[in-house]
Structure 1
Amino acid sequence: MSKSADLRLVAVFEAAKGILVFATACAIFKFIHANVQETAEQLVRHFHLNPASHYPRIFLEIASNLDDTRLLALGFGALAYAVVRLVEAYGLWYGKQWAWIFGLISAGLYIPIEIFELAKRINWAEAVLFLANVMILVILLRGRPR
């Protein structure tokens, strides 16, 4: 693949993350003035999860502590993250130097955290995230725009 095609591949990946987080922000805003705890309990029942097991219990505990202020903060934080990812995707798609630098920094910031998490406990999800960020860094380093 050419350098510009590689950068566009990363741009599509970043745009997909931005769109996914934007959709998540929209969903968060729908829960303002709603009974989040009841909805969380319905989800756990719908998927036939044991509410006493580890992850469902964490999910239900978080849901019980969400009020409108926290939901607004989460929603606006998700919106900000989505805008940053979409702006980066735009810049990478059009081969902008600033987007390339930003991409290197943002992907590079996750590497030490992911190494720390993998050192604590290796699991496939952490390994996939680590490898994805390493691949993005390699693609960005090889595809420096002119």
Structure 2
Amino acid sequence: MSIDWNRRTCARRGHVTYAPQEPDLRSRLTVDTHLGEAWRCLRCGDFALGAPLSGGPAAHAPLVPRGKVLRDLFVLRFLALERAVRGVFIVLAAVAVWKFSNSQDAVRRLFNENLDVFRPVARHFNYDLDHSPVVGTIQKSFGYGHHMLLIVAGALLLYALIEIVEGVGLWYAKRWAEYLTVVATAAFLPLEVYELTEKVSWLKIATLAVNILAVLYILLTKRLFGLRGGRRAFDAERESASLMEVATASDEPVAPGVTSGPAVSI
């Protein structure tokens, strides 16, 4: 079942109505009902009771995102949330590394003491803590110097900043954020592929697949780097989706009092 993105958005945000000054076009966008005048929504095409939200020359009508544009905006905001959440977790990791760098010896002693406590329990379940890859990785980190750990924390903070900036920009559908997301995500794809050669996991495969799909989706739908006509074709596509332009080009005006066609919203 296909989603009507126009009506879905109007149900959440309300209709967008506009009263053009041109008499012929004005008559196509309004009807009189027994409850009062109703104006055609520029987004979903339904008629909404009440005075229009704004008015003026048809050329100054708001360019309302519709249809495919709304669907693309939904996908971008999903990616924005994913980037923002990831950025927050990376910030927490950076803080943890920074705190660890300031109390490295105390953390090492605490870890070794608790390791001795859990060693008999691990043996009972036939798990060798002395040869555990997780324990080995933790113990290896104790050998890193304070300066190196600070560099790692700083790199994590920079990475988190990029993710959060991407998230904010994508939420507001900024074109620079789309470019940043494509470049930053594509730059880390070789590293993700390399990690799969080291150890395969479903999480790594899913993350790689999502990032590849995100890069391809943004590249093609937003026509970045000149693809599919570039920025000019992208703007033309958005402008052609304007219901005001559709109404202007219509050969059959919407006659007052009609009962067929788009429903009147009450």
Distance 2:169 2:73 in 1: 12
Pairing of 1:102-121 with structure 2 (within 5 A) = 102-118=180-196
What displacement does 1:8 show?
0.6
Amino acid in structure 1 at the alignment position of 2:170: L
Distance 1:93 1:4 in 2: 8
Within the candidate set 16, 23, 34, 2:92 is matched to 23
Q: Which has the higher contact order (CA 8 A, sep 6+)?
A: 1
- TM-score normalized by the length of structure 2: 0.47
The answer to whether 1:55 aligns with 2:134 is yes
What displacement does 1:133 show?
1.0
What displacement does 1:40 show?
4.4
Kindly, what percent of the aligned residue pairs are identical?
22
C-alpha RMSD of the superposition? 2.8
Aligned residues: 145
Which has the larger share of helix?
1
Distance 1:52 1:84 in 2: 37
Which has the higher Rg, Structure 1 or Structure 2? 2
What displacement does 1:99 show?
0.6
Deviations 1:50-101 (Å, cap 9, x if unpaired)?
A: 13222321221122x1222122111111111111111111111111111101
Gap runs ≥5 in structure 2: 6-70, 223-233, 236-266
User: Per the alignment, in what secondary structure is the counterpart of residue 92 of structure 1?
Assistant: helix
User: Per the alignment, in what secondary structure is the counterpart of residue 31 of structure 1?
Assistant: helix
Distance 2:100 2:146 in 1: 8
1:30/1:113 CA distance change after superposition, 3 Å:
closer
Which has the larger share of strand?
2
| Structure 1 contact 7–143 (Cα < 8 Å) conserved | no
What displacement does 1:31 show?
1.9
Gap runs ≥5 in structure 1: none
- TM-score normalized by the length of structure 1: 0.80
1:21/1:43 CA distance change after superposition, 3 Å:
farther
Determine the structure 1 residue equivalent to 2:28: none
